[in-house]
Amino acid sequence: MRFSILLSLLLSTCCATPADNIVHVGFDLKPTYGTSAVAYENGTLAAIVHVTGNGDYKEAMRKLSMESSTHRACVTLTKRVGPD
């Protein structure tokens, strides 16, 4: 539930930007909380939200941080908004 709030705030911030701006979105998921921020093309940085995880989130993060759950992957998503 709390991370749906994080995503909603993030999307509303990104959608409020002019169409010719490039927006970079970052998430930082820690063992007990998650944060998100937006970096705009003009160099402006905006911290969007900080959400404290509940017991289920903390347990999931504990399990994912185990050596047996380690997966090496890099994900990069790029979407340009506005005219090409």
Single-letter code of the amino acid located at 44: T
CATH code for 2-69? 2.40.50
Location of structure tokens 């340009």 = 80
Q: pLDDT (tens digit, 9 = 90+) per residue, 39-67?
A: 888 888 888 888 899 999 899 888 888 77
Q: pLDDT (tens digit, 9 = 90+) per residue, 2-32?
A: 556 656 666 666 666 555 667 788 888 899 9
Phi/psi region, residue 15 (left: phi>0; alpha: psi -120 to 50; beta: rest), is alpha
Give the number of other Cβ atoms within 10 Å of residue 29's Cβ.
Answer: 15
pTM above 0.85, yes or no: no
Give all strands of the β-sheet with 23-29 in edge-to-edge order. Answer: 23-29, 33-40, 45-52
